[in-house]
């Protein structure tokens, strides 16, 4: 899929998807990923993070770094 076809999320819109009774989305490098059904993101929480935000910096230095993104569904792109 071309990035141009992706749904656009502002930071404010992304913040709605915090996984607390809603879907859980996180942004990395301008793309928005769905972590709703990841056990380790239950209730939108993962190692001190809360979904609905951009974690491009935070993901670096984690055990999985960006390799993990390959298993996640892209649901949109982040716009400023």
Binding stretches for ligand HEM (CB under 6 A): 26, 28, 33, 35, 38, 40, 46-49, 55, 58-59, 62-64, 68
12 membership: H or E segment, kind and range: helix 11-14
Rounded-to-5 percentages of helix, strand, coil across the chain: 25, 30, 45
Considering the complex, what minimum distance in angstroms separates the CB of residue 6 from ligand HEM? 16
Considering the complex, what minimum distance in angstroms separates the CB of residue 2 from ligand HEM? 22
Considering the complex, what minimum distance in angstroms separates the CB of residue 53 from ligand HEM? 9
25 membership: H or E segment, kind and range: strand 25-28
């Amino acid at each position: 899929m071309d990035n141009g076809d992706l749904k656009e999320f502002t930071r404010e819109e992304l913040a709605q998807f915090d996984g607390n009774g809603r879907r859980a989305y996180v942004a990395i490098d301008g793309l928005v990923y769905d972590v709703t059904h990841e056990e380790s993101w239950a209730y939108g929480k993962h190692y001190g993070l809360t979904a609905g935000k951009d974690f491009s910096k935070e993901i670096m230095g984690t055990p999985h770094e960006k390799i993990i993104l390959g298993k996640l569904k892209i649901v949109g792109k982040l716009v400023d």
